Amino acid sequence: MQQKKSRGSLFVVSAPSGAGKTTLCRRLVSSQPGLAFSVSYTTRQPRQGEVRDVDYTFVGREDFLSMAGRGEFIEWAEVHGALYGTSGKRLEALMEAGNDVILDIDTQGAMQIKERYEGGTYVFILPPSFEVLKKRLEERMTDAKEEIEKRLRRAVSEIRSYQRYDYVIINDVLENALRELEAIILSRRVRAQMINPLWLEEGFFKQEEQ
């Protein structure tokens, strides 16, 4: 029996740190069947409550650079002084299994993927204001003061990249932002090009011939 869909779709989500992309992506992956999250590798230290291989695979800098040298990342970048990368093997396995996949990656990584691959959907998440972004980072209580300042400085330059994305979501009221992200994913899923022609052949056109 042929699959209805010819392949999974790739959703690349970027945002300045603290805008809420982890919250949005996690909520959506848990509520949408067939949507998976690609777990990245990073050299940064785990935050309190983060689970190995669920939030990130935490590795040393040397191991990370060896993996990068072997071409195991489809993109990687240095963000806030740590290295982050998307494993080609992990992404491939998720897509092979028929999933749509969300990558939560920074703007440098997103643009590397955009240059190399066709067909991805690019979503940028904005906080409602700079003040709210600052407050969210402070209230998350996962980063030291200097770390928060570093993230806020970087936020401004990251936001300048918004025009290179297909969609922009302002994460003010969480439920509204979730609905918007869900709408983007659903509309991509029902595009005509997502239907597997062999499935139509087997299920409809052959019946007509009989």
Burial class (CB in 10 A: 0-12, 13-18, 19+), 13: buried
Nearest approach in angstroms of CB 182 to ligand 5GP is 20
77 binds, options ligand ADP, ligand 5GP, none, Cβ within 5 to 8 A by partner type: ligand 5GP
Nearest approach in angstroms of CB 158 to ligand 5GP is 7
Which residues 6+ apart lie within 8 Å of 210 measured at CB? none
Binding residues for ligand 5GP, rule: CB under 6 A, are: 17, 40, 44, 75-77, 79-80, 84-86, 104-106, 108-109
- The residue with tokens 């290179």 is 164
Q: What CA–CA distances, in Å, run from 80 to 106, 125, 128?
A: 10, 18, 22
Nearer to ligand ADP, 72 or 147 (CB): 147
Interface with ligand ADP (CB under 6 A), residue from 8, 9, 11, 18:
18
Q: Which of residues 136-195 bind ligand ADP (CB under 6 A)?
A: 136, 139-140, 171, 174, 177
Nearer to ligand 5GP, 24 or 77 (CB): 77
Nearest approach in angstroms of CB 1 to ligand ADP is 39
Nearest approach in angstroms of CB 174 to ligand ADP is 3
Q: What is the DSSP string of 52-87?
A: BTTTEEE--HHHHHHHHHTT-EEEEEEETTEEEEEE
134 binds, options ligand 5GP, ligand ADP, none, Cβ within 5 to 8 A by partner type: none
Report helix, strand and coil shares of the chain as percent, to nearest 5: 50, 20, 30
Burial class (CB in 10 A: 0-12, 13-18, 19+), 37: buried
17 binds ligand ADP (CB under 6 A): yes
Contact 100, 8 (CB under 8 A): yes
Binding site for ligand ADP (CB under 6 A): 15, 17-23, 136, 139-140, 171, 174, 177
